[in-house]
A and B are shown apart, each in its own frame.
Chain A
């Protein structure tokens, strides 16, 4: 009944080199200055508890999360707080950030792991520890982890889905971490399984990562990990998207108005699981992450372990960016990432990659839609993007809502395949924005 369904929609992104073994992780040198935005997750900003002139240590709490949809922030380097002021953010807006000047010594604050081994701890203690360590969804979703770890009592979870996919081709950060710390990642999965009281763990791994699959199979012989089910999946995009993954792995369809919890599923990425392991077992808060730096304008692509808040310019320098040819810098993957305007935008907790392109995508010059239905055939949500874009151009929001515009997952597959080069994802996003505005106006 819960079979593995072949994911037939979506696209195979052939732009980049074929996948295989991810390259090893190299540590980036200590940055001179870091900028910690107070909003790096999906929810409400954190509240800073430091001010200008305070001396902080690595791992020290610098922002609290009193509001439920918020996470805590920690200093990634030791040094002095030089400002609490707006700074550039990958989303394009300026958001208040804590600026820290590093003193170069990288001294660590005390880390407090859980008092007892996690197998004996209560659910509330684990959730509290995860909250204290400031963990949000690290593969780009940004949902605070402690919220997912404490599902409401009337919605029991029975499947923990582990998303081991990187999603978009040049991004390798998840695979690199899986290769380096396979055992800890699996143990993180067990911690989460205990916390949410799930009954099964299903792990989806890219099937071209044969080394990682072999390591996991070897680990499964150990009785601790024997219950973990591993599914090698093909690298179609956007299989890593939450609702698509749930449907492909479990056959459960999250309908309009539902959340994955309603169907008894919770999805975590492997990077987040590793962060949860580090938080619970070592008491280490989230202050660094692995970022893939790649793209045509990069001379030495690499998976770098960087401190949160490092300006992107430093990563580009390490990876030998070609300043003569670079035209666009994207934070995230090439299909869903945000193009940034300034190179001193900091890496945040949800940045999986930095991609430097030496070309610009075609401008708004579009040809007419020839109704080839390619967009319709690739849409993972079975929408008709060309119809939706038409409705948005004609301001017919009702018809767009009827054809399901609100279900768009913004994967960009439609725009990718359109032969007329129409920016369908853009029109649909615009339509959703209008729809939200209308709904909010209706509420007032």
Chain B
């Protein structure tokens, strides 16, 4: 057993040993698992859509998923690489894109959007992990700009102005389940939140971004609701309505939390959420309310690297030199 230097051939009992650098343990999570869980979290909303809208929603979903997957595969073939698990992230992009569109969108528009999302917004910048803006939202903006007729006056999100207070109150219950106005994703707030809670429990999305986003939107609308008495039921209707409608929950819980395009530093995440919320508020109040959430998130995505650099926390024992 204690071999001298002359014994170079290992006996059958002693196979060659592997060497690798420490650590020699890995936790059991991996990226395909994260994708699968995200798809699972989107399942409640998808089922709600199919239940309430029926075949039409199915057609759109298939167009979105099909377009994204075909684009991903096609590009991988062109590059002569085997597409691995990345097809799952194409699924997610396709579904998210469809959730931001109204039911009346033609299927070929959805297809165009999803192909744009994968090829231009994601693969052109380096693929998974290298995109700087959320691909689904980039496609949504592209469609907004290229086919404005689809969204105008269609109640997507909601039209230029918020409906009157009384109507808002009636709509509140519907927004939780069975809202047929607006984007496909705002069909049921409960379904969206249920999926997001599961993701949070599995530690795939964090707490900071959704919380800061939603709470800031709520606070901003509450402070400016204009009803005088802040604690009356009336004063709470506007912020609740604003939070539950217009795809804000889909945006805050799924799109803004996309790990690739949001900051990694804790303060950066909070600032990201607050920034998205402030921009959403600004767009809804003074600008085009249609795609307020999506524009806000895209805007903040562009500032992510800056946030990471400026809001870098002090590492343990760092002595920061002040110039």
Contact = CB atoms under 8 A, between A and B. Distances in A.
A334 B26 CA distance: 10
A368 B130 contact: yes
A416 B85 CA distance: 21
Given A371-B259, A419-B31, A421-B30, A429 B14 contact: no
A364 to B, nearest CB: 9
State the main secondary structure of chain B at its contact with A: loop
B126 to A, nearest CB: 8
Nearest to B304: A371
A334 B25 contact: yes
Given A338-B22, A371-B259, A381-B315, A329 B17 contact: yes
A335 B24 CA distance: 6
Interface in B268-323: 308, 312-319
B2 A382 contact: no
Contacts of B319: 255-257
B15 interface: yes
Contacts of A381: 315-317
B316 A416 contact: no
A277 B130 CA distance: 57
Q: Which bracket fits the contact residues of B?
A: 35 or more
Contacts of B215: none
B17 A416 contact: no
Given A328-B18, A381-B315, A407-B318, A419 B33 contact: yes
Given A253-B316, A368-B127, A403-B312, A376 B264 contact: yes
Q: Interface centre among B3, B316, B317, B319, by most A CB within 10 Å?
A: B316
A426 B259 contact: no
B317 A336 contact: no
Interface string B36-62: 000000000000000000000000000
B164 interface: no
Given A339-B18, A370-B129, A425 B23 contact: yes
Given A344-B3, A371-B264, A412 B315 contact: no
A335 B128 contact: no
A336 B23 contact: yes
Contacts of B265: 373, 376, 384
Interface in A290-327: 311, 313-314, 317, 323, 326-327
A398 to B, nearest CB: 14
B163 to A, nearest CB: 39
B140 to A, nearest CB: 21
B237 interface: no
B129 A369 contact: yes
Contacts of A92: 19
B31 A382 contact: no
A327 B18 contact: yes
B323 to A, nearest CB: 13
Given A311-B2, A419-B30, A253 B24 contact: no
Interface in A420-436: 420-421, 423, 425-426, 429
State the main secondary structure of chain A at its contact with B: loop
Contacts of A327: 15, 17-18
Nearest to A85: B5
Q: Interface centre among A32, A339, A343, A371, by most B CB within 10 Å?
A: A371
A371 B129 CA distance: 7
Q: Which bracket fits the contact residues of A?
A: 35 or more
A387 B1 CA distance: 46
Contacts of A225: none
B19 A370 contact: no
B26 A362 contact: yes
B17 A340 contact: yes
Interface in A202-249: 243, 247
A403 B314 CA distance: 9
A255 B262 CA distance: 30
Q: Interface centre among B14, B15, B23, by most A CB within 10 Å?
A: B23
Nearest to A380: B316
A328 B316 contact: no
A57 to B, nearest CB: 22
Interface in A25-83: 32-33
Contacts of B313: 382
Interface string B239-260: 0000000000000000000011
A412 B23 contact: yes
A13 B25 contact: yes
B20 interface: yes
Contacts of B33: 419
Given A371-B264, A376-B265, A419-B30, A254 B317 contact: yes
Nearest to A313: B1
Q: Interface centre among B1, B14, B15, B127, by most A CB within 10 Å?
A: B1
Contacts of B314: 382
B19 A403 contact: no
A372 B269 CA distance: 12
Given A253-B317, A419-B34, A317 B1 contact: yes
A121 interface: no
A173 interface: no
Contacts of A357: 24
A243 B317 contact: yes
A198 interface: no
Nearest to B12: A323
Contacts of A412: 22-23, 25
B2 A314 contact: yes
B21 A426 contact: yes
A101 B3 CA distance: 14
B29 interface: yes
Given A313-B2, A382-B313, A384-B265, A360 B20 contact: yes
B100 to A, nearest CB: 22
B17 A339 contact: yes
A337 interface: yes
21 contacts: A254-B317, A326-B17, A327-B15, A328-B18, A328-B19, A334-B24, A334-B25, A335-B24, A337-B24, A339-B24, A340-B19, A343-B17, A355-B24, A368-B128, A382-B314, A384-B265, A384-B312, A403-B315, A419-B30, A420-B30, A429-B21
Given A33-B2, A373-B259, A384-B312, 7 more contacts: A255-B318, A256-B318, A314-B2, A328-B20, A339-B21, A412-B23, A419-B31
Interface of A: 11, 13, 15, 32-33, 92, 243, 247, 253-258, 311, 313-314, 317, 323, 326-330, 332, 334-344, 355, 357, 360-362, 367-374, 376, 380-384, 386-387, 403-404, 407, 410, 412, 415-421, 423, 425-426, 429
Interface of B: 1-3, 13-15, 17-27, 29-31, 33-34, 85, 126-130, 204, 206, 259-260, 262, 264-265, 308, 312-319
A-B pairs, top 9 by smallest CB distance, nearest first, are: A412-B23, A368-B129, A373-B264, A404-B315, A335-B23, A381-B316, A255-B317, A313-B1, A339-B19
